[in-house]
Structure 1
């Protein structure tokens, strides 16, 4: 039976990722689904849930907002919330916080429940032994952290975007966690903000989806959250590559009356995207977890993550680490307290090697997503000359302007000749303008546009991003361009090569505007 499950999932060079939904917590903790949770907490306001339902048109995020707004006043004034106020007052930062605090407190209490059912206990015991590379979840509770205690957890989109996840031995809680009440994606306002950042999330998850089998457990095939995430990822892929996901997306469906495990294929349709998926329907998860625990791997996922993380820190940053060390062979230093000894050599040579390994995408992440606190001198001295051998458009001014190699608004004579030549090109506005005959004919019309850069893209579409340098000077600013680039950053993970090429040029234009012109 276990072999049949593994054959259906497929054999890959990488272990699976789990994508875990509310059905998982409902099975082992007795927690409600999202609507059930809202019904429970509507009672705190002494209001019939149906009132909220009818007032919001049945939209759950809006229902959550209405419940939260009503609870806000009660939470601050009524004596029954005095203990909560004393304990969680610092977490109450807006009118939606009280509801999130009470939900988080409720979930924390559920973690202490002792499971009595023998089959469920056996399932959880087997689940602890499964071989997976990581977990993505929309659940708020801490059950997964309890099961996979050696995994590192990233809470919310912000932690995932502004950290350096290693892609193994990690849990990505994309809808927040009970341990940080304000991180919960719950209300209408939360979902609006979450969906604005969906391109970021899609870009982060795309590599996982294309390199790992993804096992969905605790979701239905019609779950709106999953459909939107899959749709965002699918939009980054060509139809041919979309078909390659067919064997990688496996939905585990629970049916209490299912006597034999059922294997099937389905097509998920959402908006204009059709995504082929596999389904395994069962009433008992023990065969699934037993099959996943039989996957062979030399090192546990938690250990692999630590090794990858320390190697990343050593090679890609100049910060020293107390537990990871590189030293000469004749060093007299005591290494018995080190966690990992990675090699023998000169530290400065290893650091320089790290800067030679930077690619354009690393500089783009540093500029658009997270400031990596890179050494500007090393970027100018080591990274840029190497990349300029074969790349015309890459972020440049941020590092040059803030380095010791820039004086009187130009690079000094001792820097690599490629830096000097590129600077002469990159300081010219026409370097960023489209040069095709058809494009040039549009210059006059674009220059007459009276609204903002953001309005320009919203009105004409992302393909018009290449015409932004044609706009009037008073319409061009780095802040608006930053917002446009961030909103559509998943383009860089897609397969539209023409649009990607233009996008790279506009990232460089942003770099030029912000760090050279200061605009």
Structure 2
């Protein structure tokens, strides 16, 4: 924990934010999104759910509709109402943290909205053209799986997901450069998420190539409870697992962890 705190104090800690952070403010689970896809395609949701995982069902939606525009519009509308982001202690702590960059695989706008609410300047980066907007000393919010303002940037169906797995987009190149000089803290992720595990694996290969130069960073993933199996696997990838000793509830555990990091 001391090395994590040192990286944080030196502004050398990048935050990587997953869906668990958005779930904490009441955003619907993926199951509800699958139900909406089914309804828009005139399927019974319970039956449709048996036809594949979310990525393949979203791929089918794109084929049938021609694009994901209607689904993105529904998500944007439903995910951004009846929430006062200032009620989220987790978002407040993220905004006021000493993180030079925040990467997120979430599509929603709540990280940006939280920065707006607390009047903290930032630059949003969702595609290659956004990279030119980066300014020294201004936090970057990198929408790693795309942004609702740009349908083409969204990693939502099988095709876009498989393209992301190649790890060769401008945002991937930026991430590789950032993580060679800074540590990374992952929060709000399920360790069973294949996408994030592939990211861990890809980053570990990059770090290993540079290990002889002494620049391999130590990175971290926070979870609300211990998992010795995953801890061992992540350790071989250069990622240390941090977990709560006292709080079994994920949202409370994450809030207390961030509080200790940011305000401790």
TM-score range, shorter-chain basis? 0.7 to 0.9
Counterpart check, 1:143 vs 2:138:
no
User: Equivalents in 1 of 2:5, 2:77: separation in Å?
Assistant: 37
Whole-angstrom CA distance in 1 between matches of 2:133 and 2:232: 34
Q: Deviations over 1:435-490 (max 9, x none)?
A: xxxxxxxxxxxxxxxxxxxxxxxxxxxxxxxxxxxxxxxxxxxxxxxxxxxxxxxx
Q: What's the counterpart of residue 266 of structure 1?
A: 231
- Which residue matches 1:279? 242
Offset from partner CA, 1:210-257 (integer Å, 9 cap, x none)? 322311111012222212222222222337829x899732222246xx
Question: Structure 2 matches for 1:94-105, cutoff 5 A?
Answer: 95-98=66-69, 101-105=70-74
Aligned 8 A contact 1:53 1:59 in 2: yes
User: How big is the shift at 1:27?
Assistant: 0.7
Contact kept? 1:267, 1:276, Cα under 8 Å:
no
Aligned to 1:65: 59
Secondary structure at 2:98's aligned position in 1?
coil
Question: In the alignment, is residue 152 of structure 1 matched against residue 100 of structure 2?
Answer: no
Report the counterpart of residue 35 of structure 2 in structure 1: 39
Distance 2:35 2:5 in 1: 40
TM superposition score normalised by structure 2: 0.77
Q: Out of 91, 115, 132, which is 1:163 matched to?
A: 132
Separation (CA, whole Å) in 2 of partners of 1:126 and 1:236: 30
Q: Which has the larger radius of gyration?
A: 1
Q: What SS class does the counterpart of residue 19 from structure 1 fall into? A: strand
Would the alpha carbon gap of residues 229 and 97 (structure 1) be closer, same or farther in structure 2, given more than 3 Å must change? same
- Contact 2:58 2:158 (C-alpha < 8 Å) held by counterparts: yes
Change (3 A) 1:51 1:139: same
2:97 to 124, 130, 140: 130
Distance 1:211 1:288 in 2: 24
Secondary structure of residue in 2 paired with 1:267: helix
Alignment of 1:174-323 (within 5 A): 174-198=144-168, 200-238=170-208, 241=211, 248-254=218-224, 266-268=231-233, 274-281=237-244, 282=247, 283=249, 284=252, 285-294=254-263
Q: How does 1:476-491 map to 2 (within 5 A)?
A: none
Aligned length: 249
Tell me which stretches of 4 or more aligned residues in structure 1 moved more than 6 Å: 244-247, 262-265
Q: Which has the higher contact order (CA 8 A, sep 6+)?
A: 2
Structure 1 residue 141, shift from structure 2 partner:
0.5
Structure 1: how far apart are the matches of 2:220 and 2:182?
11
**Residues 268/165 of structure 1: CA separation in 2 closer, same or farther (3 Å cut):** farther
Q: How does 1:468-507 map to 2 (within 5 A)?
A: none
TM-score with structure 1 length normalisation? 0.42
- Unaligned residue ranges in structure 2 (runs of 5+): none
